[in-house]
Amino acid sequence: MPFVGFDSAKIRSLGRDLKTLGDNAGKLHSDVSAVLTQAQSLLRGKPATTSAALQPLVGNPLSVWPFGGGTLPGSLGHELHDMSDSITRRCNQLDLCNDLLDKGYAIDPALAFADENAPDEKKITDALAAVAALDGKDFGDDGNRDDLEKVKSMLDGMTAAELDAFFAKVPAEDLRRYGDLAKKTDDSGMWWWESHDGIPDDQFRDHLSLLLKKAGPSHWAKLEAAFPGIQPGFDTTDAWLQGYNSQLQQGVQGMHYGMPGDPLFATPGKVDASSISQGQFADCWYIASLTATAQANPKFIAEGIKQNPNGTVDVRIWDKDGKQHWVTVTPDLPMDGNGNLVSAHGNKETWPAYYEKAFALMYGGDDGGTPDNHQGDKLYDRAESGDYGATEWDNTDKAPPYVTGHDSKSIDNNVDALRKSFESHHPVIVATGSVDPKDVPNEWKSSFVSRHVFYVKGFTADGKVILGNPWGGGALDVEATSEQYEKYFNSPQELQVAG
């Protein structure tokens, strides 16, 4: 049903009037300046105006308005032109969205009022035809990359409204076929014309992010079904397989994806490392890296995440080859049966959860075999990628490149080396080995965790290193002397934050 209640002709007329007013702003600026200048001369030195915005016009008819910005009223020229252009674009968008609705297309109501280029039906029908044409095509020995990249280019070039109409029309099996063919990459031929199949993983990841960033929420399930790489699974995690977290000794029942109630940031645009809690997944090695980096450079972490108009979240992350990506994830997160977040989280904020979710999709270093309680058990101990299970039980040097864009640096395993790196403003993480509980110092009985990764929080006045637990919440810090540190901790890594 078309959108009603909007008189496009009258709104367009308003836009034209605003542009005319903008054209006249320069003359008005000069006239006001002349009046104020004359008034001040007649007032024998007394100010002609008490307005801070108008004061620069006294004795200065040009001010800076001809060159953009500046004081009123000259600065209105640029602003009114921009407003007029936006009104025209939005009217075009609304009118052409209504045309598509009349023809049976479905478009998210919010997109009908977007400030973007108006939808082009031909782009939609051409893309539908190109995706359908993949069915039964004989790609042969020359591969299918050209056909797939044609579809990719078409979809990448669509506006949000065009994509919304496309996703509403495209058969689920056609979209799934496109996703399957795109993931079947093979560049094994000896010659440039041989066997170039699929779309390279890094390019397809960026493609999925672009689609998800524009797609309306009603199409997310369709996208997830066609492109499994959009939503990381959690059915290979210890919490799912065991029904509890073995380190925290907490039950985890009824895991599902749900919408969190907290915002991205508790304080808009601000990151607080002390807010982070690891949650129920065994990815302390990643959360410790994230927390240490947030502590050393909160601005870097805050700038690496943003929410899109459709509710999805963009996260900056580097892949296994060191290439930077902005990975788009849906806003739903793993929860238990009571609606509590199972994933990482903050104190009344969710940004750590989305960093973790993007990492689950991107981590490419899980080879299996990392020591835990299930070595050799293929249900747990296996190589995997694209899900939360891939992020569990790994080594301290694996996560930093995904967080910072650089490999971490192994440093000497002593408190002096930790202090030197920490005081040079580097994030620092350390690991513990498998330690018998009866061998743990009494003062650590409630804070030390074996087979875990901590981060350096600081140093006490008497020279002990303060090690933070990425579990967050009520988890206690460990304060270790030089001798204690060298006995119980190992594998220190100095993180290098991208400049």
- Active site residue ranges: 284, 452, 469
Q: Give the C-alpha separation, 430 to 121, whole Å.
A: 56
Please provide the size of the chain in residues: 499
The 3-class secondary structure across the chain, one letter per residue, is CCCCCCCHHHHHHHHHHHHHHHHHHHHHHHHHHHHHHHHHHHCCCCCCCCCCCCHHHCCCCCCCHHHCCCCCCCCHHHHHHHHHHHHHHHHHHHHHHHHHHHCCCCCCHHHHHCCCCCCCHHHHHHHHHHHHCCCCCCCHHHCCHHHHHHHHHHHHCCCHHHHHHHHHHCCHHHHHHHHHHHHCCECCCCCCCCCCECCCHHHHHHHHHHHHHHCCHHHHHHHHHHCHHHCCCCCCCHHHHHCEECCCCEECCCCEEECCCCCCCCCCCCCCHHHCECCCCCCHHHHHHHHHHHHHCHHHHHCCEEECCCCCEEEEEECCCCCEEEEEECCCEEECCCCCECCCECCCCCHHHHHHHHHHHHCCCCCCCCCCCCCCCCCCCCCCCCCHHHHCCCCCCCCHHHHHCCCCEECCCCHHHHHHHHHCCCCEEEEECCCCHHHCCHHHCCCCCCCCEEEEEEECCCCCEEEECCCCCCCCCEEECHHHHHHHEEEEEECCCCC
Task: For residue 114, give both structure tokens.
Answer: 């977007």
Kindly tell me the sign of the dihedral angle through the C-alpha atoms of 391, 397, 400, 401.
Answer: negative
Q: Give the C-alpha separation, 281 to 237, whole Å.
A: 7
Closest of 59, 373, 385 to residue 238, by C-alpha = 373
